[in-house]
Structure 1
Amino acid sequence: MSNTTSEQHVRSRSVGSLESQQGDNLPLRFAHVVLVFTALCLLTFLSTLETTIVSTAAPAIASSLGGLDRLSWMANAYMLSSTIGLPVIGRLSDTFGRLPVVLAAGIVFMGGNALCGAAQSMTMLIIARAVAGIGGGCFGALNFIITCDISSLRLRSIFQGLAAAVFAISSIVGPLLGGVFADDLGWRWSFYFNLPFGIVALLILCIWLRLPPPTGSTREKLKQIDYMGSFLITSATVCLLLATSWGGDAYAWSSPVVIILFVASAVLTAAFWYVEFRIAVDPIMPRRLFRRCNVGISFLHHLLFGIPYIVTIFYMPVWFQVVRGDSATRSGMKMLPLILSSSLVSVAVSGIISLTGHIVPLIALGSMGLTVSMSLLGTLSATSSETTEILYMVLSGVSAGIVIQPMLFSAQLATHKKDIGVTTTLLVFFRYIGSIIGISICSAVFNNVIVDRIHKNLPDISEDQLESIRSDISTISSQPDDVRIGIINSFVDALNTTLFICALFPAIMVILCLAMDRERIKFTKKSKGKKAEAASETKMDTEDERSASTMASGMQEICRDNQTRLSDEVCVLGMAAACTEVDTNDESSDESECGGSEEVALHRSLG
């Protein structure tokens, strides 16, 4: 009888907690939320800008510092270092608090940029870029994490949509600013300009980002860090990034160096999963995350989504330069329909989620749109009109904008609040890894197909001439007409094959949607005020204690009646289990709650 009452009480308490969602306990006022979010977006904008701003400033940098043969590492160093810290940044922010971690990341980022501006050699610049990347790579994930902490559930979707738009806009502004600085102020200002804006953003966070600090001493927090897991996942990521960066460029894909790096990455990854699931006390990737259907599928969605998205952004400018003969600047401008449509739709979808509460249908719709758009892009030919190219790219951008926010929101809603930081950083990490894998797979396919087609279309072309064309596509326009047409046709065939392969990955995303719980967020007003809710919680706690006491007394009676058959140790164990049963039920009910702060009820309807 007492067990039934306890189960009913725990169930009612779980529903009550879902209804509250800490709607009355938001840590900041709305004006302060806007200020903090603006500062976070500014830091995200600066860090993302650094990935593209050097593209137009590179010639001036090479002329000033020399080291033209190592110029590519100026960009690669930043991207490599910005990726390797992602798996651990979420756990660090949970352990030490959001503000200390974002301040540390800001100091490292600005310090690295100051060193970049003062660099006297290419080696110093590459090292400084790597330092800046360690800090800059954290801002995107921390933006999403802190937004979850300070905003209501309804506003969170809108804020995260705006944050996603910041990523896209910075990729457009970066090359333009780099050209302006290189031509007018000097290339060093491509790095120095981060300092005043970064300082302002950090000051805003210091003043208005007031979140409850994690409990425990510094020594206890240091003991919580998963050092072995951090080392293994960082090493595995470095090996994977080096293999994909060197493969097909510094080394052939079949070279021993690249193969060893891929094998090392696989072995280190397997060791990491063993440590996380078997050894680590407080793992970076807790096993409980992968037991939640929507969280695990969201990881796969981000991994698969990164492949077609990065391939489109990477190869379509090359298409415009090779097939249309456009300049680098004009090809970049032609990417605006893709990037702007993705940004605008991402913000609009955030509003749709707030109004309708639907998530999974949007993921399925966007994934189907990506499948169709990648297939259509794969049908482009040298005779296709510019209008057709723009329409297909807009469809791709709209489809990508539809899925970006729902993928993130689905995982956050299915995650307990204490795991939102870890979950969010892992989502960003898996998207980065998907981009890396996508570039590797598609580069291998593209290079193999284009070489094969060139040899078929131009059987008399020499290897030196072919290597010259592959290393500098600007030489294509100066080739004789028959050679130029043969190369363009070969390029079209290679890119079509690559895009058709990319269409398979969003198709898999559609299939995965069938296995997801179709969550619907229903925003409702609460009927209870703060005092009523507090009284209700106090009453629940009293009933918990009463229920636990009753169950413990009952177990004592059982033990006394069966003393001839039960040892004292069994009685003690039975009483302990009875006393902790209610706490265990409460913990399991807490695990079903979603992180966030909103005066809402989260109603999940399956099927």
Structure 2
Amino acid sequence: MPLQALRTVTKSQNGVGAFILQCKRMEFHYCDWAGSSRGMNAFLKSHLQAFAKANPQVEITVSPRPGRHPVVRGLYMNGREKAVCVRNMAPSEIVQKATLLRNANGERLRRVTKPVKSMNESVRGVWDPFHGSQHRVAAMAASEKDAEVHIENTNIHGNADDAPPYSEDDHMTLQAYLALAAISSQYVAYILTLLMPSTIVSYINADLGPDPNYTWINVSWNVAASVMVTVGGRLSDIFGRRYFMIAGACIALIGAVVGATGQSINQMIASGVLFGIGGGLLEMCFAAVQEVVPMRYRVFAIGCFEMTALIAFVSPVIAYAMLSQTIMGWRAVYWFLSSFEACGLMLLMFCYKPPTFHTKHRTDGKTRIELLRQMDFFGVLLFASGYISFLLGINWGGRKYAWSSAPVISTIVIGAVLLVSLGLWEAFANLKYPMLPPKSGLLFVPAGKPIIAGVYANMVSYGTILAGLVVVFFCQRVGHERWQQVGFMVVQTALIGSLASVGLDDKIQAIITIIVLATTITPPQLLAFVMISMNIDDQVDIGVANGLASTFRLMGGAVATAIYSAILSNRFASELPKKMAPVIAANNISASSAAGLLKSAALNTAAAYKSALSLPGVTATVIGSTQRAVKLAYVDAFKMVYLIALAFGGVAIICAAFTKSIPKDRKTLRRAVKMENETKVEDLETKA
């Protein structure tokens, strides 16, 4: 390749030197038959020519390596060399590795514990990207056989913003730890808005109702959150997370105030919707916490992150204590939520300062309007409308309308069609930013002992606390995340099946099983977040990746809640007359009184049983027998729910077997982002 030297005149300028690439040769070794070399073979066919043309100053060689993993090797002017194994990597990943080798200088990476300061006004090394004008080497191809190489002055003044957003060995700073504290406070608030209202929902219905739609106080949270989490994740990836997190905290605060002052079930549902919208935006905390810590410690960090929500996991006890010890009753719970949200909002505003829009787009020069135009708003519309329609149909079936009624069938069919249309739209539309690239409750508790009721309500939370310890001390050390997922799914499915054998008086078996089951639920969820974030090619998309995971998790929870609630209600309605028949026969209750007693049993409230005492032949003893019959009917109804859940457990095991463990070479000390206040400190040190 003929080279033509350019005439240049030296000039006195601080920090400017000629750019001399230190890599002189790169070797690409492949295997014809090994499965680990498929990505390398595809790279050689489709990417190598472009890579070589873009780097004419580097000698490129390709040679076979039979029976061995593929390797990319770089040889440098100082006589050193570096090699990277690229087994099982995609072509795009190999391009990234080759680019890193090309830009390296052969020296070993050394961890510097002290800030590096320039003590004189001279050129540091052969090229300094932080001062003066940057230079780049470009090739002007005149034909297929020759090219003219020249050095072009881009006349862009370099500064710290032009450096990569991370290094291979990023240490944690005080600003990073404060950011983690702020993110954790929002996670606690997020869990509180889910657990505390669901704990007291029956008391709300008793005070403001009764209303058959009161379950939507909880369901609306999942619906709104699952729609918002993907949108918020994608938007925060593009525009920065800070103001989306702050918006989520503000909306959740408004939801708490609306709930505290609510005068009807519809207002409480509106509060649940606001909680869901705020929670959907705050759900990106799973992505935010992983960005801040080194990639090697993401599993450990997200386990500790889960354990910080201890106050949220014991919130059912707090809720029942407020019910029994405060004059405001259930409204005190919402005022507690509003005060906690306000404190978390202040912490978020002062301590969480992730990369801004300017930092994220300092190189591409795109504007906010330009990026908004490229968003997949039609996909969001299809998803939201299809999901809500499908969920409404399932929730109505067997309760508000018969399963064969037109409202149920039409809403389910319309929802399914819209969701299928969403898949086709995402697959075939030319989109720049496509949208698609835990909950428990108690039925019977001691009515006269609200604190004990709160302790029972915490059974799942006790297991969740243990789950955080499992993630920190077990999952982080073991690795092999795919097989961990399979193991957790197998244990979950077995324990869910065992719950079908729990009888009315098997309290110890139920408590132990639920705690152990809850211990196995959280680890695979947290592992899934880390596996997804570590396996994506570009950490810039961590928000939308975790957002999609959260969307389907919340959507699955909402759909499962609707399905299982419908099964439970229908099964209970069919079992209750069978369980009540012996009670009616043993006490010689008339047909008219039996109908009223059966109606009171179906309502299963203190007021209903009190009114039933006025029926002829109904005594306190009969009421006691009726309550036991109701419990037996619920036992059989829940048994059906658990047996049906086994089928979903089997599907989960199969899906877990097809996941992908985190590659060891990605478990580095690299951090995906730095806080804005961290960057400013380092800029001052660099410019000193």
TM-score, normalization: structure 2?
Answer: 0.63
Q: State whether residues 350 and 405 of structure 1, in contact with CA within 8 Å, keep that contact through their aligned partners in structure 2.
A: no
Mapped partners of 1:189, 1:422: distance in 2: 36
Mapped partners of 2:565, 2:199: distance in 1: 23
User: Pick from 124, 138, 148: which aligns with 2:281?
Assistant: 138
Mapped partners of 2:228, 2:385: distance in 1: 11
Q: CA deviation at 1:91?
A: 0.8
The corresponding residue for 2:304 is 162
Q: Is 1:379 aligned to residue 521 of structure 2?
A: no
Q: Which amino acid aligns with 1:399?
A: T
Q: Is 1:90 aligned to residue 233 of structure 2?
A: yes
Deviations 1:235-289 (A, max 9, x none): 1222233334434443344332222221121111122222222225234434xx4
Secondary structure, aligned partner of 1:503: helix
The corresponding residue for 1:470 is 602
Deviations 1:496-527 (A, max 9, x none): 2321221232233223333333445368888x
Q: Which deviates more, 242-251 or 493-502? A: 242-251
1:28/1:200 CA distance change after superposition, 3 Å: farther
The corresponding residue for 1:45 is 188
Q: Which deviates more, 389-398 or 168-177? A: 168-177
Q: Is 1:275 aligned to residue 396 of structure 2?
A: no
Mapped partners of 2:263, 2:627: distance in 1: 42
Q: CA deviation at 1:430?
A: 1.1
The corresponding residue for 1:352 is 474
The corresponding residue for 2:510 is 389
The corresponding residue for 1:232 is 382
Q: CA deviation at 1:363?
A: 0.9
Mapped partners of 1:63, 1:498: distance in 2: 26
Q: CA deviation at 1:112?
A: 3.4
Residue correspondence of structure 1 range 54-133 to structure 2 within 5 A: 54=197, 66=208, 68-69=210-211, 71-119=214-262, 123-124=266-267, 126-133=269-276
Q: Which deviates more, 350-359 or 159-168? A: 159-168
Mapped partners of 2:603, 2:404: distance in 1: 19
Q: Is 1:14 aligned to residue 97 of structure 2?
A: yes
The corresponding residue for 1:572 is none
Q: Is 1:152 aligned to residue 294 of structure 2?
A: yes
Q: State whether residues 179 and 353 of structure 2, in contact with CA within 8 Å, keep that contact through their aligned partners in structure 1.
A: no
Deviations 1:166-212 (A, max 9, x none): 56752531462465278536355544444554344334333443333
Q: State whether residues 55 and 175 of structure 1, in contact with CA within 8 Å, keep that contact through their aligned partners in structure 2.
A: no
Q: CA deviation at 1:231?
A: 1.1
The corresponding residue for 1:361 is 483
Q: Is 1:220 aligned to residue 370 of structure 2?
A: yes
Deviations 1:466-487 (A, max 9, x none): 4432322667896457655554
Q: Which amino acid aligns with 1:240?
A: F
Q: Which amino acid aligns with 2:458?
A: L
Q: Is 1:341 aligned to residue 484 of structure 2?
A: no
Question: Would you tell me which structure has more helix in proportion to its own residues?
Answer: 1
The corresponding residue for 1:436 is 558
Q: Is 1:494 aligned to residue 637 of structure 2?
A: yes
Mapped partners of 1:274, 1:236: distance in 2: 13
Q: Which amino acid aligns with 1:490?
A: A
Deviations 1:440-461 (A, max 9, x none): 3323333343344444454586
1:60/1:469 CA distance change after superposition, 3 Å: closer
Q: CA deviation at 1:37?
A: 1.9
Deviations 1:208-248 (A, max 9, x none): 43333332212112212211111111112222333344344
Q: Which amino acid aligns with 1:31?
A: L
Q: State whether residues 303 and 469 of structure 2, in contact with CA within 8 Å, keep that contact through their aligned partners in structure 1.
A: yes
Question: Would you tell me which structure has more strand in proportion to its own residues?
Answer: 2
Deviations 1:154-175 (A, max 9, x none): 3322332233345675253146
Secondary structure, aligned partner of 1:393: helix
Residue correspondence of structure 1 range 150-229 to structure 2 within 5 A: 150-165=292-307, 169-174=311-316, 176-177=318-319, 179-180=321-322, 183-184=325-326, 186=328, 188-213=331-356, 214-215=360-361, 216-229=366-379
Mapped partners of 1:79, 1:524: distance in 2: 33
Deviations 1:354-386 (A, max 9, x none): 3233311211111111121112111112343x3
Q: State whether residues 295 and 667 of structure 2, in contact with CA within 8 Å, keep that contact through their aligned partners in structure 1.
A: no
Mapped partners of 1:48, 1:367: distance in 2: 23
- How many residue pairs match? The answer is 500
1:473/1:161 CA distance change after superposition, 3 Å: farther
1:44/1:405 CA distance change after superposition, 3 Å: closer
Q: Which amino acid aligns with 2:528?
A: M
1:331/1:266 CA distance change after superposition, 3 Å: same
Q: State whether residues 450 and 490 of structure 1, in contact with CA within 8 Å, keep that contact through their aligned partners in structure 2.
A: yes
User: Larger Cα Rg: Structure 1 or Structure 2?
Assistant: 2
Secondary structure, aligned partner of 2:490: helix
Q: State whether residues 391 and 412 of structure 2, in contact with CA within 8 Å, keep that contact through their aligned partners in structure 1.
A: no
The Cα RMSD (Å) is 3.9
1:164/1:473 CA distance change after superposition, 3 Å: farther
Mapped partners of 1:28, 1:236: distance in 2: 45
Mapped partners of 2:525, 2:426: distance in 1: 28
Mapped partners of 2:244, 2:188: distance in 1: 18
Mapped partners of 1:381, 1:146: distance in 2: 44
Mapped partners of 2:95, 2:434: distance in 1: 33
Deviations 1:61-119 (A, max 9, x none): 6798x554365554444443333312211111112111121122222222333444455
1:500/1:6 CA distance change after superposition, 3 Å: farther
User: Pick from 395, 414, 423: which aligns with 1:264?
Assistant: 414
Q: Which amino acid aligns with 1:502?
A: A
Q: State whether residues 161 and 346 of structure 1, in contact with CA within 8 Å, keep that contact through their aligned partners in structure 2.
A: yes
Mapped partners of 1:97, 1:524: distance in 2: 25
1:478/1:42 CA distance change after superposition, 3 Å: farther
1:449/1:55 CA distance change after superposition, 3 Å: closer
Q: State whether residues 221 and 273 of structure 2, in contact with CA within 8 Å, keep that contact through their aligned partners in structure 1.
A: yes
Q: Is 1:515 aligned to residue 647 of structure 2?
A: no
1:39/1:248 CA distance change after superposition, 3 Å: farther
Q: State whether residues 43 and 201 of structure 1, in contact with CA within 8 Å, keep that contact through their aligned partners in structure 2.
A: yes
Greater RCO between the two (CA within 8 Å, min separation 6)?
1
Q: State whether residues 377 and 496 of structure 1, in contact with CA within 8 Å, keep that contact through their aligned partners in structure 2.
A: yes
Deviations 1:520-552 (A, max 9, x none): 5368888xxxxxxxxxxxxxxxxxxxxxxxxxx
Q: CA deviation at 1:128?
A: 4.6
1:520/1:345 CA distance change after superposition, 3 Å: farther
Q: Which runs of 5+ in 2 are unaligned?
A: 1-26, 28-47, 53-59, 63-71, 74-92, 102-107, 110-163, 585-593, 610-619, 675-688
Q: Which amino acid aligns with 2:246?
A: L
Mapped partners of 1:59, 1:398: distance in 2: 27
Mapped partners of 2:562, 2:227: distance in 1: 18
Residue correspondence of structure 1 range 399-410 to structure 2 within 5 A: 399-410=520-531
